[in-house]
Amino acid sequence: MKLKKQLKKSIKRQVVLGKRAIRRSFKFVVFKNKYSRIVRKYAKMEAFQAIKRGFKGVQRQIAIRPRIRLFSKFTLILIVLLFLTNMGASYFKAKEPEIKVNGQQILVAKNSESQNPEETLLQASVSSKRSPFDFRMPVSDGIITQGFSSYHHADDIAASYGTPIYPLGGGKVEFAGYMTDGHGDTVVIDHGDGLKTLYAHMSQIDVGVGNVISETTKIGNIGLTGHTTGPHVHIEVFDNGVMINPSSVLPDN
């Protein structure tokens, strides 16, 4: 029992001594090292003297350390350049109304936004327009033998040789004659609004350039002119120069 009490007392004393040693080492590190002594020394001085000595210390470090000296010079140059740039911008800002190029004054746009912008009322009207096409076949009893595709931008409508051909809608004849590119005897009609139709491989042309026609005007007859393997009319439809599928303006049946 007595040994146990002595052991506890010894441990307690070692703990106390350890705490004292830690406090002493901390106090030495914080308060008794080189830098802490310098701080305490400057703290006891007056503010002006402390600043003066601190400035001298910085000068001494710059003088003995070439990298710090180079960095300080570079920093000083940057500060001067920024100052001069700011001064130049302020000068030219004040001189903007006087600046001229080739004798002409430069106009600088100003922010015209008001604090209370008025609302702008937009009005629009939508009007309908009748299609120039009648959505009927250009030949009676005609059959589409080849439709619109990536390599054939037209519809081929077969019928008996000599069958009359009527336009898909009224318009003005833009071309009437023979095409050497394989179309043969061809008629092109301008329907307005960028819409045009072409009728090729005719055996006979019954209209001329400049004629104003209607959907009931006979423009020619089914034939075999140009590159063709049988009597039919080759129809192309253009919308502002782009070839579109003629079936879109032909009846489903």
Q: How far is CA 139 from CA 6, 43, 176, 196, in A?
A: 128, 111, 18, 18
User: Is the dihedral angle over the CA atoms 35, 36, 41, 47 positive or is it negative?
Assistant: positive
Q: What is the pLDDT of residue 95?
A: 65
What pLDDT shows up at residue 128?
53
Six-digit token pair at 35? 């830098």
Q: Which 3-state string (H, E, C) describes the chain?
A: CHHHHHHHHHHHHHHHHHHHHHHHHHHHHHHCCHHHHHHHHHHHCCHHHHHHHHHHHHHHHHHHCHHHHHHHHHHHHHHHHHHHHHHHHHHHHHCHHHCEECCEECCCCCCCCCCCCCCCCCCCCCCCCCCCECCCCCCCCCEEEECCCCCCCCEEEECCCCCEECCCECEEEEEEEEECCCCEEEEEEEEECCEEEEEEEEEEECCCCCCEECCCCCCEEEECCCCCCCCEEEEEEEECCEEECHHHHCCCC
Question: CA dist 93 to 88, 90, 99, 195, Å?
Answer: 8, 5, 10, 57
For the chain, which residues score pLDDT lower than 70? 1-2, 4, 23-48, 50, 61, 94-130, 252-253
Question: So what's the pLDDT on residue 155?
Answer: 94
Q: According to the model, what pLDDT value does residue 33 have?
A: 59
d(C-alpha 205, C-alpha 179), whole Å:
13
Give the per-residue pLDDT at 122: 58
Sign of CA dihedral 139, 141, 143, 144: positive
In the prediction, which pLDDT does 46 show? 61
Torsion of CA 157, 205, 196, 161, to 10 degrees: 0
CATH 2.70.70.10 domain residues, the chain: 143-249
For residue 100, the model assigns a pLDDT of 59
What pLDDT does residue 240 have? 92
Fill in the amino acid letter for 78.
L
Q: How far is Cα 91 from Cα 78, in angstroms, rounded to an integer?
A: 20
pTM of the model as a whole: 0.50
Measured distance CA(20)–CA(15) in Å, rounded: 9
Class of domain 143-249: mainly beta
Instruction: Write out pLDDT tens, residues 206-238.
Output: 999 999 999 999 999 999 999 998 999 999 999
Name the one residue in this structure whose structure tokens are 């390599």: 151
* HSE (side-chain half, CA atoms, 13 Å) at 171: 25
Q: Of 67, 87, 86, nearest to 75 (Cα)?
A: 67
Instruction: Find out whether 30 and 37 touch, Cβ atoms under 8 Å.
Output: no
